[in-house]
Amino acid sequence: MNISELRHRLRTPLYRNSIFLMANTVITTGLGFFFWMVVARFYTEYEVGVGSAIISSVRLLSLISMLGFNITIVRFLAKSERPQQFINSCFTIIGIVNLAVSGIFIAGLDLWSPRTSFIQNNIAFILAFMFFSLSWSLAAIMDSFFLANRRADFALIKNTIISLLKIPLPIILTIFFHAFGIVSS
């Protein structure tokens, strides 16, 4: 393949978006590795375990609450007659479902995750948990909107900025929040 053919392919949205998606995976994975290195340096083993359990819970609830809209958006947004209403409906439905699922999860923490049940005892932790779960869902849906509009470069920029900003946060938040500082980061 010569240079002119490569340039032509890079102008094609399919190839360009594929490259941005691969770069997004490589960059966020690499920065995530550095994040966990910082966390392991400043937190105890117990706090890292509890923090990662809470993050896994947040991600699971986020995934459940998306109801497959992340894929639906990529498939149907371009053909939508009213894309603004489509987007607003997705955000609204996902937000309501996420808050309901998060509330149910928090109510049953003693049953399915006793080590993280300390969240139930502090209204700030409850609100933060629900906020993080909702934020994670909406951020993932934004990536789907970017993909549907053939702008994976925006997803790369957004995710790189978030990944960079979260690296120094565990150092700052270890003083105030212990295991929840990992989640807050």
pTM score, whole prediction:
0.84
Contacts for 136 with CB less than 8 Å, ≥ 6 apart: 58, 59, 62
Q: Please identify which residue in the block is written with the tokens 């490259």.
A: 19
DSSP state of 149: T
Q: Please identify which residue in the block is written with the tokens 């933060």.
A: 128
* Residues 159 and 30: beta-carbon distance below 8 Å: no
- Say which range, 137-146, 155-164, 170-179, has the weakest mean pLDDT: 170-179
* pLDDT tens digits, one per residue of 11-52: 888 888 888 999 999 999 999 999 999 888 888 898 888 888
Report domain extents, the chain.
3-184
Q: String of b and e for 152-165 (b: at least 16 CB within 10 Å)?
A: bbebbeebeeebee
- DSSP, collapsed to helix, strand or coil, labels residue 113 as coil
* Residues 100 and 64: beta-carbon distance below 8 Å: no
DSSP state of 12: S
